[in-house]
Amino acid sequence: MAEQQNPRTTEPNMSDPAAYSRTMADIAARSQRIVTEWLDRQHEVDVAIDPLNIGSAFMEMMAKLMSNPSTLIDAQLGFWQDYVTLWQHSTRRMMGLETAPVVPPDPRDKRFQHEEWKENEIFDFIRQSYLLSARFVQDVVRRVDGLDPKTAQKVDFYARQFVDAMSPSNFALTNPQVLRKTVETRGENLLRGLSNLLRDLEAGRGQLHIRMTDAEAFSVGGNIAVTPGKVVFRNELMELIQYTPATQTVRKTPLVIFPPWINK
If you average pLDDT over residues 244-263, what whole number do you get? 84
On the 0-12 / 13-18 / 19+ scale of CB atoms within 10 A, 244 is exposed
What mean pLDDT, rounded, does the chain reach?
A: 85
Task: Tell me the average pLDDT across 130-140.
Answer: 95
Mean pLDDT of 163-179: 95
Q: What is the pLDDT of residue 24?
A: 77
Cβ atoms 12, 191 nearer than 8 A: yes
Residue 2 has pLDDT above 80, yes or no: no
pLDDT-derived band at 44, boundaries 50, 70, 90: low
CA nearest neighbour of 201 among 27, 19, 11: 27
pLDDT of amino acid 263: 58
What is the pTM (predicted TM-score) of this model?
0.71
Q: Is 232 helix (H, G, I), strand (E, B) or coil?
A: strand
pLDDT at 14: 59
Residue 139 has pLDDT above 90, yes or no: yes
Q: What is the pLDDT of residue 9?
A: 46
Looking at residues 28-35, what average pLDDT do you find?
A: 82
Residue 69 exposure: Cα atoms within 13 Å on the Cβ side:
1
For residue 3, the 8-state DSSP code is: P
Higher pLDDT, 241 or 9: 241
Residue length, the chain? 264
> Tell me: the pLDDT tens digits for 48-86?
677 778 889 999 999 999 998 898 999 999 999 999 999
